[in-house]
Amino acid sequence: MTTSELAQRSLGQRALLGAKRRIMRAMGPWGVFLQGFIEHPVMVGSIIPSSRFTIRKMLAPVNWETCKLFVEYGPGVGTFCRPVLEKLRRDGQLIVIDTNPLYIDYLKATISDSRFVPVLGSAADVESIVRANGHDHADYVLSGLPFSTLPDGIGPEIAAATYRVLRPGGAFLVYQFSAKARDFMAKHFKHIDAGFEALNVLPCKLFWGWKD
């Protein structure tokens, strides 16, 4: 391929990316979220994002002053990302990990914050992702993963990796429609606080697993 053909191709790719971003912005977060659910219902597990009540309750026990690294699994269209970034200290970092390229592209197109690191990948690989971004441990890990519908073995693997990646005193924050996640968490976390949020579609269970 000649240099001018290569240049034309990269121009074409940039134009395509620009068009994709404009379409995503026009669809809005709910449209993008629904599209992700239609394409991958088992992996997404919900048709609309979490409510502001769930977000407030889930994040309430976080000590933002000491939090340098916050990790989120399954950010979707960023429902939690914006509130986390509002509270996160200026030298903190938020790493979000999602298996769906549609959501990761949407987050890259709509959130510009130097503390924000969207990663296309699986939560099961959290340890290598955290290390690749220059950290030994995470202070908090938040999960919106649909544990009850994930492929066999993935839930326990993610719970074990999360326990290892957290610093002592850190916490695994989990919200889910069923209590399945608690079974996986209980193998590693001795101290688990539980809560409930009715003002969410569907009402959901909340868990905070504290690492000793």
Ligand X SMILES: C[S@@+](CC[C@H](N)C(=O)[O-])C[C@H]1O[C@@H](n2cnc3c(N)ncnc32)[C@H](O)[C@@H]1O
From candidates 24, 32, 44, 94, binder to ligand X by CB under 6 A:
44
Q: Which is nearer to ligand X, 9 or 164 (CB)?
A: 164
> What is d(CA 41, CA 180) in angstroms, rounded to the nearest whole number?
18
Q: Which is nearer to ligand X, 44 or 67 (CB)?
A: 44
Distance of alpha carbon 144 from the chain centroid: 7
CB-based contact 203:160 (threshold 8 Å): no
Angle at 83 between CA 81 and CA 85, to 5 degrees: 65
Q: Which is nearer to ligand X, 35 or 122 (CB)?
A: 122
> What is d(CA 107, CA 128) in angstroms, rounded to the nearest whole number?
21
Beta strands in the chain (DSSP E): 69-73, 93-98, 116-120, 138-143, 166-176, 191-197, 204-210
From candidates 35, 57, 62, 98, binder to ligand X by CB under 6 A:
98
Under the binding rule (CB under 6 A), the answer on residue 104 touching ligand X is no
Q: Per-residue x/- marks for ligand X, 46-75, CB under 6 A?
A: x--xx----------------------xxx
Residues that bind ligand X (CB under 6 A): 43-46, 49-50, 73-76, 79-80, 97-100, 103, 122-124, 144-146, 150, 154
